[in-house]
Amino acid sequence: MNFGIDRLLADPELRRPLQDKRVALLAHPASVTADLTHSLDALVGTGLNIAAVFGPQHGVRGDLQDNMMESPDFTDPAYGMPVFSLYGEVRRPTDASMDLFDVILVDLQDVGCRIYTFVTTLLYVLEAAATHGKAVWVLDRPNPAGRPVEGLTLLPGWESFVGAGPMPMRHGMTLGEMGRWFIDHFRLDVEYRVIGMEGWAPEAAPGFGWPAERPWINPSPNAANVNMARAYAGTVLLEGTTLSEGRGTTRALELFGAPDIDAKAVIAEMRRLSPEWLEGVSLRDMWFQPTFHKHVGQLCSGVFIHAEGPCYLHAAFQPWRVQALGFKAIRRLYPTYDLWRDFPYEYVFDKLAIDVINGGPGLREWVDDAGATPRDLDALTMPDEAAWLQGREAFLLY
């Protein structure tokens, strides 16, 4: 198959509208071609006038590990053009940076989750382009989590850098498709084009979204593989808790744990509470010791989430519910456990991080309600999921 960048490079006719334009590129370390050439190098090699580069969270170089670690602006050492951070002093392109180009190419590998901030950065770029009369082209890439949808819809008033609009946690769209939805939902007047993929088969095994012939490259430091991308719509919830999500290990956001829980007991309680929510995934108790971040240097009892191998059933796997069930099991086993982490999350200072992540308090309230059952959370969530499946249909390209 071919990604958007590969099609643009291979077809001079697709590039023709860019020939006399000043072109900007929004990219990160996973912005590479089929032969693993970085998109910046490949585009410069075609003779296009690349006038500026922009980087999302974690930077163009992908060097910064955690949330709220800001990247600086700098000058590209090879080509001399300015590189602007959209996760530094600003989150949105400045007026001065917008004056440097006519068309911006967005070539970002996403992981298919609302909270992964590249989604919000795309919206901010579209809004800036509408204000300044610039064109936006998305060079589309696969959603490695595929088409399934899951989670509560972000509530009005809960918008943030991890909540660009009223969508569920797992949206099941590519960035190119998401741009179409943003333009319609926010009524943006912007010149927009998607250079689509050829041959993407999001329902086909074994990748179910990620083509087996393409190597995985981390789009951010802790997005290490496809298993992480599949699990992330659930494991990202851990960022709002005192439980470790595995930062400081080699398999971050594929596991959870802490020094003061019994992972075997947690898994058993999860199975007792809702075995149907655990279809399509295998849970393994394990041990880990983070070298940095939460519980640094402490031996943790953990649960590893295997959304891969013979156990994996793509249509059945529900990562958001799996992680919610983990919280519910811990609350049942340890009723007074200090689960919710109270700290500024993505520059929101007046709300609990778990609520910012979910776009509302619904999940936390369900976990903390001793009488609430998995059926109750389904009753809250399933109407939101059905509405999103119907609402996104007009914007799908594949």
DSSP structure string for 181-210: HHHHHTT---EEEEE--BS--TT-TTTTTS
204/211 Cα distance (integer angstroms): 9
Q: How do residues 209-218 score in pLDDT, each as one tens digit?
A: 999 999 999 9
In this prediction, residue 61 carries a pLDDT of: 75
pLDDT at 65 over 80: no
Q: Which CATH architecture has domain 4-219?
A: 3-Layer(aba) Sandwich (3.40)
Q: What is the value of pTM for the model shown?
A: 0.95
Query: For the chain, what are the domain ranges?
Result: 4-219, 226-388
Tell me the average pLDDT of the chain. 96
Question: Which strand ranges, in their side-by-side order, compose the sheet holding 282-288?
Answer: 255-258, 300-306, 282-288
**How far is 26 from 58, CA to CA, in rounded Å?**
13
Cα 77–chain centre separation: 29
Distance CA 294, CA 303 (A): 16
Q: Is the distance from CB of 290 to CB of 248 less than 8 angstroms?
A: yes
Query: pLDDT confidence of 88, banded at 50, 70, 90?
Result: confident
pLDDT tens string 226-283: 999 999 999 999 999 999 999 999 999 999 999 999 999 999 999 999 999 999 999 9
pLDDT in tens, 122-177: 999 999 999 999 999 999 999 999 999 999 999 999 999 999 999 999 999 999 99
User: Distance between terminal CA atoms of the chain?
Assistant: 13
pLDDT over 70 (residue 69): no
Query: Which of 147, 125, 117, 149 lies closest to 220, judged by CA?
Result: 117
Residue 227, token pair as written in the block: 């298993």
Which tens digit of pLDDT belongs to each residue from 20-58? Answer: 999 999 999 999 999 999 999 999 999 999 999 999 988
Mean pLDDT of 342-354: 90
Q: Where does residue 28 rank: exposed (0-12), middle (13-18), buried (19+ CB within 10 A)?
A: buried
Report the DSSP beta bridge partners of residue 306: 282
Angstrom CA distances, 148 to 114, 186, 305, stand at 13, 24, 18
Fold held by 226-388: Aspartate Aminotransferase, domain 1 (3.90.1150)
